[in-house]
A and B are shown apart, each in its own frame.
Chain A
Amino acid sequence: MATVDTGAFFDPMYQFEIVRILPLTIGGLDVSFTNASLYMVAIVALVSLFMIQSMRGRALVPGRLQSLAELSYEFIANMVRDNAGSEGMRFFPFIFSLFMFILFANMIGMIPYSYTVTSHIIITFALAITVFLGVTAVGFVKHGLGFLKLFAPSGVPVILLPLIIVIELISYLVRPITLSVRLFANMTAGLVIMKVFAGFVLLLGVGGVLGMVGALVPLLFMVAFTALKVLVAFLQAYVFAILTCIYLNDALHMHH
């Protein structure tokens, strides 16, 4: 484990390591409580604390936290209503949970020495495939087999139809992959860059006065990059939620 300790300092991938805090196996399935599990529980706890505790007063004139909670509510509610129509509001709680989960995962990941749940492809893919399967199910339940017309847009010349259908089908099936990789890659790349530049600061910093002055360059970059990462953390949660709304709109209304 000595190698891991040095890795903690210089290996940019070490921060993504899964550590089994409480090894556990049920019926051959590994259900260990890991650091990822800990952070997921923390996310749920924090989101719930934020959304429920702040509304305890049910004040007519909201305080700061209540305003934020209401702002989040209206922000997502408007997003769903604008992009998926009032029919889409049935799925508002799901999209809200999705947005808050990803947002808090990304934001908690901004804290030094913390772990970012959304930096793992399996997590983002699980979320994306849930959205994909759910949206497809909604489409078939609502339109029956007519949902397949989504792949054959009207007004396309018959000669082009086979080609268009193939393209549409691929673009539809690739959705869960793009949705999950976008989030995963953004978070992972940001964290790796952060770690690499932090390593530069450390390496230059031990090299005397000149090194310390030189270390200012990656340090300043890190400060600026942190601001960008906060933006990306919010933006990726937003993009995930709004794409879910758009996919849902396709399934509900089918206008292409």
Chain B
Amino acid sequence: MIRIDGVVLAQAEEPEQIAPALDQELTAELEADLGVAEDDAGMPQLAVGDFAPQLVWLAITFVALYFLMSRVALPRIATVIESRRDRIANDLDTAARLRQETDEVIAAYEQELTEARNKAHRIAAEARDKLNAEFAEERARIEAELAEKTAAAEARIGESRDRALAEIDKVAAGAAADIVESLIGDKPSDKELDAALKSAEGA
């Protein structure tokens, strides 16, 4: 504080010479505090005279860096990252779409396969039904034919038997008449013969 007074007082006389002297005094004091032995090397960070060029160049370089980053570098990186993100999203979309298409194709294939299988089943069933029907018809026809033939044969057999039986009656009557004639010498009449045959049949 006293020194400041000293500066103010001294300013009236020779400020240019006093200020560096004060600076040196301060630096020396600082050096003593920091334990630095040499005269001219204080803490360079506290050399007020070096502040201005550092600030000016900091301003110049930092503003330059800011503009280079904000106008050139960062937008470029943002674009690249963005386009990559888009590309990945796009690829994923395409993959999803292709997968969906594949699923659709698979579904269509499955459906067609099922239809074909059903159709095959139907055709097979139809063929089988048709064959069964033809077979049944044929069998019925053959059976009917057989039945007809059997009936005709039976009729013929019956007829033959009747005729045979009738002839047997006649032969029997004749034989009986001959036997009676030879026994009694008297030929029985047809009327008696018939009655005798009838009673024999009834016995």
Residues of A within 8 A of B (CB): 3-4, 7, 11, 13-14, 16-18, 20, 29-34, 36-37, 40-41, 43-44, 47-48, 51-52, 55, 58-60, 62, 66, 69-70, 73-74, 92-94, 96-97, 100-101, 119-123, 126-127, 184, 188
Contact = CB atoms under 8 A, between A and B. Distances in A.
Is chain A's interface secondary structure helix, strand, loop, or mixed overall? helix
A73 B68 contact: no
Given A41-B57, A58-B76, A97-B65, 17 more contacts: A3-B38, A3-B40, A17-B44, A31-B56, A33-B53, A37-B53, A40-B60, A40-B61, A47-B65, A58-B79, A66-B80, A70-B77, A70-B81, A97-B66, A119-B45, A127-B58, A184-B45
Given A11-B41, A13-B41, A97 B69 contact: yes
B160 to A, nearest CB: 111
Interface of B: 36, 38, 40-47, 49-62, 64-66, 68-70, 72-74, 76-81, 83-84, 87
A96 B78 CA distance: 13
Contacts of B74: 51, 73, 92-93, 96
Contacts of A44: 61-62, 64-65, 68
B77 A55 contact: yes
A47 B77 CA distance: 14
A36 B68 contact: no
Contacts of B56: 29, 31
Contacts of A94: 66, 70
Given A3-B38, A48-B68, A55-B77, A101 B57 contact: no
9 contacts: A11-B41, A17-B41, A31-B53, A44-B68, A48-B72, A66-B80, A73-B78, A96-B74, A122-B55
Given A11-B38, A17-B41, A17-B44, A100 B65 contact: yes
B52 A52 contact: no
B86 to A, nearest CB: 10
Given A13-B41, A13-B43, A101-B62, A55 B73 contact: yes
B77 A69 contact: yes
Contacts of A69: 73, 77
Of all A-B residue pairs in the complex, the 8 with the closest CB atoms, nearest first, are A93-B70, A51-B73, A37-B57, A40-B61, A16-B44, A18-B50, A30-B52, A32-B53
A36 B53 contact: yes
Nearest to A62: B80
B56 to A, nearest CB: 5
Nearest to A53: B73
A13 B36 contact: yes
B69 to A, nearest CB: 5
Given A18-B44, A30-B49, A73-B74, A60 B68 contact: no
A49 B76 CA distance: 13
B44 to A, nearest CB: 4
Contacts of A34: 50, 53-54, 57
Contacts of B49: 30
A16 B43 contact: yes
A106 to B, nearest CB: 15
B57 A20 contact: no
Contact of B54 (A55, A60, A123): A123
B10 to A, nearest CB: 21
Nearest to B46: A121
Given A52-B76, A70-B81, A100 B54 contact: no
A70 B80 contact: yes
Contacts of B42: 13
Contacts of A126: 55, 58-59
B44 A31 contact: no
Contact of B77 (A14, A73, A119, A127): A73
